[in-house]
Amino acid sequence: MNQPGTPMPEEDARRAYAFPGSMEQVREGLQHLYEHIHEVPAFLVPCIIGRTENEGVLEQANTFGSIMPAVWSSMPAARARSLGTAWLGPLHLEREGPRSPAYRTDR
């Protein structure tokens, strides 16, 4: 994964623009989400216990190989109950910790 502010590798750019208009649709969707995120009644923030950056590939695969499919599977289950879902990617709440409104320990 690229670090923020670094250019997209040529191969990734080629794939991103393989279908004309697809990146514009992504941008429009992100803009809509940005403008309406305050209307979301609840967020599901899956978490794991512990850290994996200093672990081997097998340990990291075991950790993320268990939580990612579970989270992904929750999306069609929610949609089947007329609840919208969006995969937002990793949030690094540890940087802000308890100051972040998304980080609640009282529930």
Determine the pLDDT at residue 99: 54
Determine the pLDDT at residue 40: 78
Residue 2 counted as domain residue: no
Residue 21 counted as domain residue: yes
Domain hosting 91: range is: 10-99
Query: pLDDT (tens digit, 0 to 9) for every residue of the chain, 107 residues total?
Result: 556 677 888 888 888 888 888 888 888 888 888 888 888 777 777 877 778 888 899 988 888 888 888 888 988 998 899 888 877 766 555 555 555 555 555 54
Determine the pLDDT at residue 58: 92
With b for 16 or more beta-carbon neighbours within 10 A and e for fewer, the 59-94 pattern comes to: eeeebeeeeeeeeeeeeeeeeeeeeeeeeeeeeeee
Residue 1 counted as domain residue: no
pTM for the predicted model, two decimal places: 0.46
Cβ contacts of 100 within 8 Å, gap of 6 or more:
93
Determine the pLDDT at residue 80: 92
Instruction: Tell me the residue type at 21.
Output: G
Residue 104 counted as domain residue: no
Residue 105 counted as domain residue: no
The domain total for the chain is: 1
Residue 4 counted as domain residue: no
R_g of the chain, CA atoms, integer Å: 17
